[in-house]
Amino acid sequence: MALRFAEKAAEAYDFPLTIGHLLDTALVTAADQEIVYRDQVRMTYRTFRTRLGRLASALSGLGAAEGMVIAVMDWDSHRYLECYFAVPMMGAVLQTVNVRLPPAQVAETIVRAEAEILLVHRDFLPLYEAIAPLLTRVGRVVVLMDGDAAPPPAGVAGEYEALLEQSAPDFVFRDFDENAIATTFFTSGTTGSPKQVCFTHRQIVLHALAANGPFGTTRARGFGIDDVYMPLTPMFHVHAWGVPYIATMLGVKQVYPGRYEPATLLRLRAAEKVTYSHCVPTILQMVFDAADKSGADLSGWLITIGGSALTQALCREGRRRGMEVVTGYGMSETAPMVSLARPRPDGDGSEDSLVRAFTATGVPVPLVSVRVVDEAMRDVPADGATRGELVIRSPWLTPCYVGNAQASDALWRGGWLHTQDVATIDSQGTLQIRDRLKDVIKTGGEWLCSVTLEDLVSSLDGVQAIAVVGVPHPQWGERPIGVVVPQAGRSVTVETINTHLETAIASGELSRYGKLERIELVEDLPKTSVGKIDKKLLRARYAGLFEPAPQAGPQPATQPATQPALQPGQEIGAS
């Protein structure tokens, strides 16, 4: 029996957790605070709020209504931020379109989301025009331009700024149910076709409250009034990790860099005194390279790294430059914040200890309940070594894959969201992602971590890049193969690699089943739209390698006389 208020005052305000309320404090405390777009726009939060009204009026004039999906294709801009707020605040649903997908998939996502209004930056008009015939449901198109005088192309409903100018700022945003859907977008993972996730107002507000760096490094306890925020993760990617919502809630100065051009990023960082950003490792490396060319000072910049693992080398490189570089972990399905790295309470404060701590996957943020479990959903020991799948509960996880009940049920099997990530957890709650569940190689009753193998081999002379994948094998279930890009003019053989691996096997770092079955030499490794190695494609390419006529059985270095039986639940962490 749930207790409810029996005698609430008639006029007591039932405060819903809607995105509009994220503005309440900021408009009172930070009305004169700035929002900056490159060197083109500089406006106050007060103006921002006026423009939200105008944007909602303009969209309303184009037929937007509650529940309608409105899609955006833009660089990181103040306009995108306006859509982050105005579209959900009017009860419509914001679709953040991943413009890096192949054109056919971009079209697919817009069609499947049932978007009816599309806002497109001029730079993406060629893409739009290529797929326009497929977008039969999109009735209105608004073009976003960066101050160029050229008129918008024929056939569009108008240009963003002109529409805002013509529209009244006094749109009435009303309260509604916090469980209304606010945003939707598609996962761009390495597996399968894009899956559609969605998030409610309540979820985005709770994420903003809980993910404001509650822990962590000295500086990472959340935004202060002197912080300046610039996203370096595309705004189509999981709400730019939700940080624009957090920064706006707190009235922090925000800088939107448009298309990521290294020189512009560094110029904005210096001119606007940016203190906080977040990005994938590739972008951080790009920033380092640009800073080396220009001699830019990067000190005092705190950057959260996600998307791929932050290596110790990259972390050290940032710290050498006076930055703080810290791992965050999350997924499209998780809105995205799950965990943040922080110094260990038992750390010795040394540089090595901090680097190890900041490159770990981190500890869960408040209201994220984590477990690392075996296949029977039993918790594995919290010893920092035993592997299992990371499953989570939190108030801000996608409740489904839209239109895909089967995938939804798999995602939420047993009442926990399955991350498909293989992780360890230690007694201090520090998570370490070891591999994708799909990339784990199940061989001889043990689980091999493909990332571990790649790490061990990637430093070998002659190896420029390597991906390790499991390939079906009639005798061993799967066997690992290495897809290798050799260094120019160098040769590399499976024997060389396996000899190298023997040390790791002898030390217990690698399973005795960990030798590669064979290698394939390639010129390039295939990548997904977000730049990760496309292991799904590799698995498909080499799926028949050992079947129907296997070349050879594996020759584990120390194969046990009696093969251990496969016992579900004991498999994980056995390696």
- Positions 376 through 435 that interact with a copy of itself (CB under 8 A): 382, 393-395, 397, 399-400, 402-403, 405, 408-409, 411-417, 425, 427-430
Q: CA torsion 451→454→456→460, rounded to 10°?
A: -170
Nearer to a copy of itself, 406 or 551 (CB): 406
Closest CA to 481 of 452, 449, 523, 517: 517
Nearer to a copy of itself, 145 or 198 (CB): 198
What is the nearest approach in angstroms of a copy of itself to the Cβ of residue 171?
18
- Alpha carbon distance 366, 358 (integer Å): 18
- The DSSP bridge partners found for residue 526 are none
Nearer to a copy of itself, 50 or 282 (CB): 50
Residues between 103 and 162 with contacts to a copy of itself, criterion CB under 8 A: none
Q: How would you classify the pairing of strands 181-186 and 196-200?
A: antiparallel
Would you give the end-to-end CA distance of the chain in angstroms? 47
Q: Clarify whether 442 is annotated catalytic.
A: yes
What is the nearest approach in angstroms of a copy of itself to the Cβ of residue 83?
18
What is the nearest approach in angstroms of a copy of itself to the Cβ of residue 94?
13
- Alpha carbon distance 103, 117 (integer Å): 18
If one asks whether residue 544 binds a copy of itself (CB under 8 A), the answer comes out as: no
Q: How would you classify the pairing of strands 337-340 and 253-256?
A: unpaired
Size of the site for a copy of itself (CB under 8 A): 89
Nearer to a copy of itself, 307 or 328 (CB): 328
If one asks whether residue 44 binds a copy of itself (CB under 8 A), the answer comes out as: no
Helix (H) or strand (E) holding 455: helix 450-458
Neighbouring C-beta atoms of residue 485, cutoff 10 Å: 16
What is the nearest approach in angstroms of a copy of itself to the Cβ of residue 343?
7
CA distances from 97 to 67, 239, 385 (A): 17, 11, 39
Residue 16's identity, in one-letter code, is P
Determine the interface stretch with a copy of itself among 136-144, 258-266, 340-348, 510-518 (rule: CB under 8 A).
340-348
CA distances from 425 to 125, 335, 440 (A): 46, 22, 18
What is the nearest approach in angstroms of a copy of itself to the Cβ of residue 502?
37
Per CB under 8 A, the list member of 54, 195, 278, 342 interacting with a copy of itself is: 342
Per CB under 8 A, the list member of 224, 322, 560, 564 interacting with a copy of itself is: 224
If one asks whether residue 294 binds a copy of itself (CB under 8 A), the answer comes out as: no
Contacts of 51 (CB under 8 A, 6+ apart): 43, 82, 164, 169
3-state secondary structure of 305: strand
Residue of 184, 187, 304, 452 with catalytic role: 187
Residue of 447, 452, 476, 535 with catalytic role: 447
Nearer to a copy of itself, 29 or 312 (CB): 29
Q: What are the start-end ranges of the H helices in 312-362?
A: 312-320, 351-359
- Alpha carbon distance 571, 219 (integer Å): 41
Residues between 74 and 93 with contacts to a copy of itself, criterion CB under 8 A: 91, 93
If one asks whether residue 181 binds a copy of itself (CB under 8 A), the answer comes out as: yes
- Alpha carbon distance 522, 564 (integer Å): 35
Determine the interface stretch with a copy of itself among 112-120, 299-307, 318-326, 337-345 (rule: CB under 8 A).
337-345
If one asks whether residue 228 binds a copy of itself (CB under 8 A), the answer comes out as: no
Per CB under 8 A, the list member of 102, 133, 295, 345 interacting with a copy of itself is: 345
Q: Clarify whether 187 is annotated catalytic.
A: yes
What is the nearest approach in angstroms of a copy of itself to the Cβ of residue 156?
28
Residue of 264, 442, 520, 528 with catalytic role: 442
Q: CA torsion 274→278→283→287, rounded to 10°?
A: 20
Q: How would you classify the pairing of strands 363-364 and 518-521?
A: unpaired
If one asks whether residue 291 binds a copy of itself (CB under 8 A), the answer comes out as: no
Q: Clarify whether 241 is annotated catalytic.
A: no
What is the nearest approach in angstroms of a copy of itself to the Cβ of residue 84?
17
Determine the interface stretch with a copy of itself among 120-128, 185-193, 230-238, 358-366 (rule: CB under 8 A).
358-366
Residue 548's identity, in one-letter code, is P
- Alpha carbon distance 51, 203 (integer Å): 25
Residues between 183 and 222 with contacts to a copy of itself, criterion CB under 8 A: 198, 200, 205-206, 208-210, 212-216, 218, 221-222
Nearer to a copy of itself, 36 or 296 (CB): 36
Helix (H) or strand (E) holding 373: strand 369-373
Per CB under 8 A, the list member of 21, 259, 442, 500 interacting with a copy of itself is: 21
What is the nearest approach in angstroms of a copy of itself to the Cβ of residue 543?
29
How far is CA 493 from its chain centroid? 36
Residues designated as active site: 187, 333, 442, 447
